[in-house]
Copies of this chain bind each other. A is one copy, B any other.
Amino acid sequence: MKIDSVDMYYLSMPNVLDIGDGSQDLLLVRVQAGPHVGWGECEASPLTTIASLVAPMSHSACKPVRDSVVGQQLNDVSDIRRIGDLVRANSLDLLQADHTLSGIDIALWDLLGTRLQAPVWQLLGTSRVYPKRPYASQLFGDSPAETLRLARETHAAGYTAAKFGWGPFGTGDLAVDVDHVQAAREGLGPETALMIDAGTIWQADVERASLRLKVLDECDVTWLEEPFVTGAFEAYRTLAGRAGRVQMAAGEGSHNAWQAKHLIDYAGLGYIQIDAGRIGGISPATDVASHAHASGVTYVNHTFTSHLALSASLQPFAGLEHDEICEYPVAPKALSYDVTHNHIERDAMGYIHVPERPGLGMQLDLEAARNYLVETEITVRGKVIYRTPELVG
């Protein structure tokens, strides 16, 4: 079948706050081929991504992403790989293209799965899937007291793992950071796994990061996430060497499989964190999962938005039995919960399961989504090259 159209929809909360919460807006992708429709999501700046979809060609290696997708044949999984390669070659010099491709690749898998009546993980060659242990992913409170309250709530809600990140952590005094980590541990109790996300706050400064290792060890922290920017391999390696039991986690900034593989090969990570909505979709994310598995590094999804994105991010490692832990947005904005009718809920044991239904197994709630639509229009030389399309199934 031939791909007829690729449409993007910019959804947003009415007010976007200047906080680390990435669930405040969302870029939905709809791909149509004949009677079949697939849905995806880019974890990306919506307007910038839309622009890269339709931007006039600059030269043969800087083409709008849409040109490498619409009109292509989509009959089996190799076509999805082929289309990804085409986008990467034809948009080699268009930096945003990897984020743009991400949602398209996800939608292509959803579409093909729906058509073949198979869940995406099965199309990926996974014969058996394993339950994942969700960790409650949330921001630090503004004060240690607030972090303590949040941690207690998380524990009361039955999570056996939790992550705190961003907010004030790393921005000020060591003592404040120590208080926050101790508050998180106190609130969660001794049994719940605790992860800390520094949000690249120390750039590449190993010494500033090292000052936090003592409290992380004392509070039995499983991983320290993104103490540094993605490229600071040497800083990661050095800190990993000093950190004892506390492992390093990173990778959400990877926008292609190479970058994630380099982190695995050169940065001394214990955990590689991949957002299918950024790395170019489910296809490269699956390559990274294989490489991580072969390298003894644990694969974890990065997901902070909708359950459509969650389903997409679970597919690449659904078959990896021992890579059990998974990121689970615990307090997303209404938008990212509302866009799907169904949700990936925890079972009685507190575990979640990758959907068994065809494609990504998620049913969009378009009526709800329409309430969040941000009408957008781009005009070049007096001609409208993008106008928010009608949001239909």
A interface residues with partner B (beta carbon < 8 Å): 12, 16-22, 24-25, 43-48, 50-52, 54-62, 85, 88-89, 92-96, 98-99, 166, 199-200, 203, 229-233, 253, 255-259, 261-262, 266, 278, 374-382
A51-B47, A93-B45, A380-B47 given; A19·B375 CB < 8 A: no
Q: Which of A92, A255, A258, A375 has the most CB of B within 10 A?
A: A258
* Interface contact A92-B200, CB-CB below 8 Å: yes
A55-B60 CB under 8 A given contacts A258-B231, A377-B378? no
**A–B pairs, 13, beta carbons within 8 Å:** A12-B56, A16-B59, A19-B59, A22-B59, A48-B95, A85-B203, A95-B95, A95-B96, A95-B99, A231-B257, A231-B259, A231-B261, A377-B377
- Beta-carbon contact of A60 and B19 below 8 Å: yes
Whether B59 lies near A24 (C-beta < 8 A) is yes
Tell me, rounded to whole Å, the shortest Cβ–Cβ distance linking A61 to chain B.
Answer: 6
- Asked if A229 and B253 sit within 8 Å, CB to CB, the answer is no
Question: Hey, which chain B residues are within 8 Å of A58, CB to CB?
Answer: 16, 22, 24-25, 45-46
Across the A-B interface, the 7 shortest Cβ-Cβ residue pairs:
A231-B258, A51-B51, A47-B55, A96-B96, A377-B379, A48-B52, A48-B51
| Among candidates B16, B61, B259, residue contacting A56 with C-beta atoms closer than 8 Å | B16
Closest to A44 in B: B95
Q: Residue of B at shortest CB range from A18?
A: B60
Bound state CA distance, A293 and B222, in angstroms?
40
Instruction: Determine the residue in chain B with the shortest Cβ distance to A52.
Output: B48
CA distance A317 to B247 in the complex (A): 39
Closest to A166 in B: B60
Closest CB-CB distance, A166 to chain B, in whole Å? Answer: 8
- Which of B48, B55, B88, B377 is close to A46, meaning CB atoms less than 8 Å apart? B55
Q: How far is the CA of A56 from the CA of B10 in the complex (A)?
A: 11
B47 touches A378 (CB 8 A): yes
Known: A51-B51, A231-B261. 6 other contacts (CB 8 A): A20-B61, A25-B59, A95-B96, A95-B98, A231-B262, A375-B381
Tell me the complex Cα distance, A382–B376, Å.
8
Residue of B nearest to A383 (CB): B375
Does B61 contact A96, Cβ atoms closer than 8 Å?
no
Give the shortest distance, in Å, between A251 (CB) and chain B (any CB). 13
Residue of B55, B88, B231 touching A45 (CB-CB under 8 A): B55
Q: Verify A253–B55 contact, CB threshold 8 A.
A: no
Q: Which residues of B contact A93 (CB under 8 A)?
A: 22, 43-45, 253, 278
A80 to chain B, nearest CB (A): 17
User: Of B59, B94, B98, B229, which one neighbours A48 at CB under 8 angstroms?
Assistant: B94
B residues near A381, Cβ cutoff 8 Å? 374-375
**Closest residue on chain B to residue A258 by CB atoms:** B231
Question: How many Å lie between the Cα of A44 and that of B56 in the bound state?
Answer: 12
Least CB distance, A98 to chain B, in whole angstroms: 6
